[in-house]
Amino acid sequence: MLQQIQRPLTTQRPQTTASLTQTMNLLHLTSDELRQAIEHELSDNPALELTSAPRCPACGRKGVKPGPCPVCTARPDAQVIVFSAPAADFRESTPSRRRETYDANETPETAESLSLAAHLLGQIATELTREERPIAA
């Protein structure tokens, strides 16, 4: 007698979706044709809006995320921006533990206090161009 064994048959076939079809059609367009297609879609669909890509504040390159681009931060002449927190953020709430941690002759290191102007400059420095930084300081 014959035995029949059932096995699941799995195959992989590319599935053509509407978005894939549209993407393939757009890839064949020239830059002028693509620009016209974008303008046509923007005029046909009021829910669409054109947004600008974030740019590097130093060189103006289009970037993936806001802030300085990797090219500007990798330059050897780039200035390092240091952000610091107030010394009160590093003080311990329980003085008994502080006595255990430090000897009587030793003083704990604290961050130097910053003026409000220096703190604000550190916060906005990434948004300023190199020419604007001395003016803001």
Q: pLDDT for 27-80, tens place per residue? A: 999 999 999 999 999 999 989 888 877 777 777 777 666 666 777 766 666 565
Distance separating alpha carbons of residues 71 and 48, to the nearest angstrom: 32
**Are residue 126 and residue 114 in the same domain, yes or no?**
yes
Please tell me the pTM assigned to this model: 0.34
Residues 65 and 45 in one domain: no
> Could you tell me the two tokens for 92?
């311990």
The answer on 58 and 95 residing in a single domain is: yes
Neighbours of 81 (CB within 10 A): 13
Q: What is the mean pLDDT of residues 94-100?
A: 55
Q: Domain for residue 6, yes or no? A: no
For 46, the domain range is: 23-52
Indicate if the pLDDT at residue 99 is higher than 70.
no
Give the dihedral of Cα atoms 57, 63, 64, 68; nearest 10 deg.
-30
Tell me what the pLDDT averaged over the chain comes to.
76
Q: Give residue 106's pLDDT.
A: 65
In a domain, 16, yes or no: no
Q: What is the pLDDT of residue 119?
A: 81
* Amino acid making up residue 26: L
H/E run at residue 38 = helix 31-44
Average pLDDT of span 95-103 = 55
- What backbone phi and psi angles, to 5 degrees, belong to 125? -60, -35
Four-CA torsion 71, 76, 81, 82, nearest 10 degrees: 130
Are 80 and 58 within one domain? yes
